[in-house]
Amino acid sequence: MKVTLYTDGAARGNPDGPGGYGAVLQFVDKEGTLHEKELSAGYVKTTNNRMELMAAIAGLEALNRPCEVELYSDSRYLVDAFNQKWIDGWVKHGWNRPKSGPVKNSDLWKRLLKAMEPHVVTFFWVKGHDGHPENERCDRLATAAADGSGLLTDTGLEA
């Protein structure tokens, strides 16, 4: 099954304020019908990078069977970690960067790798706030979640 996943994260007052993520899953069934699912959640205190990762995680964790996933994000942090193979070095070095110490957000990187396991995921970068319809939609979901009520606690937030 081929799935397209669009993601975005947002944080107000990064890194000391609320944040949220938005994700949109899309697939076309055998009859040519487009199916979509929106995901979002907000957090009391977090960072933009953590929300970018959470959007990808939430989208991949929502899939209930192995899929071919095209993941679109405006986060170079997320996309380049895979396309530039940074993640391979982080794993190889036990989640440490030789010159600058521990990899930030390793809890979420590990969760993302676990969520990717049953799937074949290809990452694509899109320019943010540039009129890309699905990226703008994800941004609206992320900011609405950050500004909403019932915010969650980001238990893995590193000081």
CA distance 97 to 5: 29
The catalytically annotated residue of 35, 36, 38, 129 is 129
117 is catalytic: no
Q: Is 154 annotated as a binding residue?
A: no
CA distance 71 to 119: 11
Q: Is 16 annotated as a binding residue?
A: no
129 is catalytic: yes
9 is catalytic: yes
The catalytically annotated residue of 19, 20, 42, 52 is 52
- Rounded to a whole number of angstroms, the distance between the first and last alpha carbons of the chain is 40
CA distance 138 to 5: 10
The catalytically annotated residue of 19, 20, 59, 139 is 139
Q: Is 139 annotated as a binding residue?
A: yes
Burial group, residue 7, by CB count within 10 angstroms (0-12, 13-18, 19+): buried
74 is catalytic: yes
The catalytically annotated residue of 22, 74, 119, 134 is 74
- Is 30 in a helix, a strand, or coil? coil
Q: Is 80 annotated as a binding residue?
A: no
The catalytically annotated residue of 8, 20, 22, 134 is 8
Given a contact cutoff of 8 angstroms between Cβ atoms, the answer to whether 76 and 128 are in contact is: no
Binding-site entries: 8, 52, 74, 139
- Catalytic positions are 8-9, 52, 74, 129, 139
Binding-site entries for Mg(2+): 8, 52, 74, 139
